[in-house]
Structure 1
Amino acid sequence: MMKKLAAALAVTGAALTASGATAQSDYPERPITMVIPLGAGGSHDLNARVITSIIPSYLEQAVIVRLSPGAGGQLGTQEVANAPADGYTLLFTHNYIDMLQQHVENLPYNPSEDFVTVARVNYAPIAIAVRADSPYETMDDLIEASRENPGSIQMAHSGNWGALFVPAAQFMQALDMSWNLVPYQGGGPALQALLAGDADVTMGFPSSLGSHLDAGTIRILATAGPERIYDDVPTFSEVGVEGDVGFMHRVVLAPADTPEEALTTLREAFEALGEDTTFNRMMGRLGENIDIITGDEYEAMRAEQSVAYEALVNELTSQ
């Protein structure tokens, strides 16, 4: 009798173990929400639409985009920080919101402790743009006007200490000039302010500027990086702005206590996404690169960013 009982318990335990393993491996069992802490029409919104149109084939569940702009990205970020750590709520953010803002003000969350990397999707060089009918036909024209009348140039950006604000501050510092920096809830609204005539200049990334450039409604005056993106447009280095200025990393984060099984599933899906032919073609149409980095590798980069941004904030705020 005891032997039969022991055997029965062993079978039951094995069944429970198998059931538990099956439950874990079933992730995801329902749609996943990807929160973007920025406004509609910006480069994150456009990139996310491509990501979420392809990655469900590797997760076997829909991924739903939810825009949650406000407070320079803090509103949506806090929303995900407070969400259940079950793999069903993710944050699609960038390096400035993720690792810089903590050095500017006290946040209601700790980005280093409350989030963990799923994947860095890509990085993008920023560009300086004006309307096609702008009197500033070259970067030299804009620099000269900015120096002659400090603060007279209205520069629309995506929020204080965000992806457009920081390179603008670095640009002004490097060239000893001044713009009037006007915040909007994301790169999309900032670009619309430019197109509407409410701003003289803005910055943006290939995915958000490309269609307007093709339509002839904007003009690009300079781009970040050491190499030209457009043959007739100078780089930041060529106009006197050296160093790592104007690069944004687009990264997907999850709440820190998300189960490892869910993180593994998500990371494997993003790695597969990076090899997907359709995804590569659609991102190419946006003018965006693909450079998937998952897990520990980007976690190390986050730590390096934090140190660098602390020094940058101290430098900019000490002026």
Structure 2
Amino acid sequence: MALLIGAIGMLSHAVVGSGYAAGTNYPAKPIPFVVPYAPGGGTDIMVRVIDRVGAQLKVFPRPLVIENKSGGSGVVGKSYAKSKPADGYTITCADDSSTVVDLFGNAPWPYNDFTYIAKLNRDYQMIVVRADSPYKTLKDLVAAAKAQPKTVKIAGTGVSQIDVLHVAMFEKASGVKFNYIGFDSGGQVITNLLGGHVDAAIANPGEAYEQMRAGKVRSLGVSSEKRLGFDSAVFKDVPTWKEAGVNLSLSQWRGVAGPKGMAKEQVDWLIDALKKITESKEWHEQYLNKFLQVGVFVAGADMQKEAEEEYAVYKTIMEGAGLLKKK
């Protein structure tokens, strides 16, 4: 049975224009958004587009105050945000990295010790190889890894992050064992793949896109349920993992959260504001299409439920792969 992480859920909310939460003057001052990663990364890009589109649509009475506090796979920034009052004037990123870091035992707080506001996007994984690789299909790669376990080198980002878990899930679904090699960033992953230091890599479509377009990298498959609808010249022939014989689909996600205990009125105002932004053509043009993202909108209790289901699945997978370090 296929594992599907990051399924699209929908929570309907009446969309309001710019203004204050009913019965309050919220937001009466600029809202700081703590980005727990370095400038220029995927989360930072998402937050800056939220701020820009929010200003264009006049959704926020005042611009967001974006603060980058990176370190510890997001732990430093999220811990900083959690230390602030739950008064609606500090929000931060929600993502599946909180779940993974918690399960690896590297977070000082439980993954769900936040106020869930809204999940905004999904990003898929691909298995990619150099254009001249002897592995022409995903079945070729799997066959080689089965024939000689732990000899096929596959690159990913980090050694205790989401790529490690996703590779473990792929191994379980396909019955193989790779030699996983972690690098500090997606850019380093692609560089080392091109340099011949690894045989394959796990990468998001946006990370591999330029090298695929240049004809230097080929994708053997993508983790989505259906083929990608991005640039047809680049992605039209990329099969899903399921089509290629590996019964698995998965994704990463990003969204917005706040300190535990935020007032319902403030959460509802933020949900409505984010929904208006993500339904706009500006969001599609400036974020989803430009950065090869898939839009979703799952809010509040529905978002928390999805995170809890994801945690249970990830915990089982990590236990089976010997990755679980949390006592």
Category of TM-score, reference length = shorter chain: 0.7 to 0.9
Structure 1 stretches of 4+ moved >6 Å: none
Determine if contact 1:35/1:89 at 8 Å carries over to the other structure: no
- Of residues 21-30 and 116-125 in structure 1, the stretch that sits farther from structure 2 once superposed is 21-30
Amino acid in structure 2 at the alignment position of 1:109: W
Q: Structure 2: which 5+ runs fail to align? A: 1-20, 229-234
Indicate the residue corresponding to 2:107 in structure 1. Answer: 107
- Change beyond 3 A, Cα 1:140–1:274: same
Higher fraction of helix:
1
CA deviation vs aligned residue, 1:47-93 (integer Å, no higher than 9, x gap): 34433321243113333555544434333332322334343433224
Q: Partner amino acid for 2:124?
A: P
| Per-residue CA distance 1:131-169 (angstroms, 9 max, x = gap) | 334443332332233334433333222234533222211
The TM-score normalised by the length of structure 1 is 0.78
Once the two structures are superposed, what CA deviation does each residue of 1:212-239 show, in whole Å capped at 9, x if it has no partner?
A: 3323332211111332234322221133
Amino acid at match of 2:189: A
Q: Does 1:29 align with 2:29?
A: yes
Aligned twin of 2:289: 284
CA contact (8 A) 1:69 1:185 kept: no
Partner deviation per Cα, 1:99-133 (whole Å, 9 max, x = no partner): 34433326311222x20111100223221122334
SS at match of 1:29: coil
Contact 2:31 2:88 in 1 (8 A): no
Cα 1:26–1:70 shift into 2, 3 Å: closer
CA distance in 1, matches of 2:205, 2:132: 20
- Which aligned pairs between 1:172-211 and structure 2 lie closer than 5 A? 172-195=171-194, 197-211=196-210
Q: Which stretches in structure 1 are left out of the alignment for 5+ residues?
A: 1-20
% identity of equivalent residues: 24
Distance change >3 Å, CA 22–CA 231, structure 1 → 2: closer
Are residue 317 (structure 1) and residue 322 (structure 2) matched?
yes
The 1:160–1:70 alpha-carbon spacing in structure 2 relative to 1, beyond 3 Å, is farther
Residues 156 and 183, structure 2, Cα contact 8 Å, conserved in 1: yes
Q: Which amino acid aligns with 1:266?
A: L
Instruction: Please tell me the root mean square deviation across aligned C-alpha atoms, in Å.
Output: 3.1
8 Å CA contact 1:122–1:249 kept in 2: the answer is yes
The Cα shift of 1:24 comes to: 4.9
SS at match of 1:286: coil
Deviates more, 1:292-301 or 1:65-74: 65-74
Query: Residue 147 of structure 1 corresponds to which residue in structure 2?
Result: 146
Normalised TM-score (structure 2): 0.77
Structure 1 residue 73 and structure 2 residue 74: aligned? yes
Distance 1:82 1:249 in 2: 24
**Do the aligned partners of 1:225 and 1:235 also contact (CA within 8 Å) in 2?**
yes
Taking a change above 3 Å as real, the CA distance of residues 72 and 192 of structure 1, as seen in their structure-2 partners, is farther
Q: Can you list the C-alpha shifts for 1:171-212, whole angstroms capped at 9, x where unaligned?
A: 122223222222234444434443455443222223333333
- Higher relative contact order (CA closer than 8 Å, sequence separation 6+): 2
